[in-house]
Copies of this chain bind each other. A is one copy, B any other.
Amino acid sequence: MRKTKQREVILDELMQLHTHPSADELYERVKKRLPRISLGTVYRNLDMLSREGIIRRLDTAGSQKRFDADTGDHQHICCVGCGRIDDLAAGAGRARCDTRVAKGTGYRVLGRRIEYLGICPACGKKTGRR
């Protein structure tokens, strides 16, 4: 991966933001520093950077993908009013409860969206592993 001005600015802006921006939000920011940059370049670099593990593409619900410069293990809280996403302090997650989250973020906590992830029986057979 070559070092380019575009990638440098994209990563720098993402690291400054703690708002988990979408590609076009980031594009608007970056455009102020590199007016000739194209949206495609932003998408391509976000893709490269996340493949390399330098940033994270968030698997949140919603129509747009969001990106996070913090690759550490942490969770998010999403505002059902405005869509804003904030970080939850890391920590194995065991002892975390709604009141603790509320205290840490200032949110009124309404609930949790939980999906389990795994390998289904059919796919498990294919790879051999169980």
Contacts and interface: CB of A to CB of B under 8 A. Distances in A.
**Chain A contact residues: over half helix, strand or loop, or mixed?**
mixed
Contact of A77 (B84, B98, B113, B117): B117
A120 interface: yes
B114 A112 contact: yes
Q: Number of copies of this chain in the oligomer? A: 2
A106 to B, nearest CB: 4
Interface of A: 59-61, 75-82, 84, 86, 88, 93, 98, 101-102, 105-124, 126-127, 129-130
A87 B114 CA distance: 12
- Of A81, A84, A126, chain B has the most CB atoms within 10 Å of the CB of A81
Contacts of A129: 108
